[in-house]
A and B are shown apart, each in its own frame.
Chain A
């Protein structure tokens, strides 16, 4: 949520466009709506895989829960707030703290058994393979 208030307006127009493209590509609209929250997410596709990037800095990788069920990828966890020493003053408090959960509908052709997840520099990268059959094949004209 915090990201939303920080981004300039024109970026939002851009997001909206990307959201529409996403909805089209994945054949949504999702019943869970298109609300953006924490962590911010980017999604991309290749002919062989679907790549999801969740921007969740400062986490212990073991505490992030990644699940795929019925073609829906769920990323959830909890981010602890920074400790404020006694007598200290908080001047700015923009960073997200608390429980989070985000959901991405994956295309039908994914293989839920071929998933890899890595956490690097505060970004969780989930790569889900797509089934062979779904990959484009060139058909030779006789």
Chain B
């Protein structure tokens, strides 16, 4: 078990992971991202922004009775991971997240000075 923990820390990125399906919707104020991460409890969900890279990572935690033998597995890896490149106009400092029933909802607003403004044309 302790071996596993060490391995996880040193090679977290190389470990095989499931790619969670997402929806990405953009409106004038920013981007809303929904990701399906069923089986991940709140404390095992990790959302990181490093530079312009957004990384979602989650570890599955299922209630498995002792001595259970898997006979069929479509979800056969214990973690999800997916990365996205953020564009410059997005304000990564102001990302907000909600997580309920295995669905993550991320809101990434556009930087305020970059939000579209209607410019009134003055008639001289």
Residues A56 and B38 in contact, CB atoms below 8 Å apart:
yes
Nearest B residue (CB) for A40 = B74
Residues B37 and A57 in contact, CB atoms below 8 Å apart:
yes
Q: How large is the interface on B (under 10, 10 to 19, 20 to 34, 35 or more residues)?
A: 35 or more
Q: Is the interface of B mostly helix, strand, loop or mixed?
A: loop
Report the minimum CB–CB distance from A47 to chain B (whole Å).
7
Residues B38 and A92 in contact, CB atoms below 8 Å apart:
no
Interface centre among A7, A39, A57, A92 (most CB of B within 10 A): A57
> Once bound together, how far apart are the Cα atoms of A93 and B21, in whole Å?
8
From B27, B65, B74, contact of A51 by CB (8 A):
B65
Given contacts A46-B65, A49-B65, A121-B39, contact A55 B23 (CB under 8 A): no
From B22, B26, B27, B72, contact of A22 by CB (8 A):
B72
Interface-side segment among B7-15, B47-55, B100-108: B100-108
Residues B25 and A90 in contact, CB atoms below 8 Å apart:
yes
Chain A residues with Cβ below 8 Å from B34 are 82, 95
Q: Would you list 8 pairs from A and B whose C-beta atoms are within 8 A, ordered by A residue? A: A15-B74, A19-B72, A40-B75, A43-B70, A53-B62, A55-B74, A92-B22, A121-B41
| A-B pairs, 7 with minimum CB distance | A122-B102, A57-B102, A122-B38, A22-B72, A58-B103, A94-B21, A57-B38
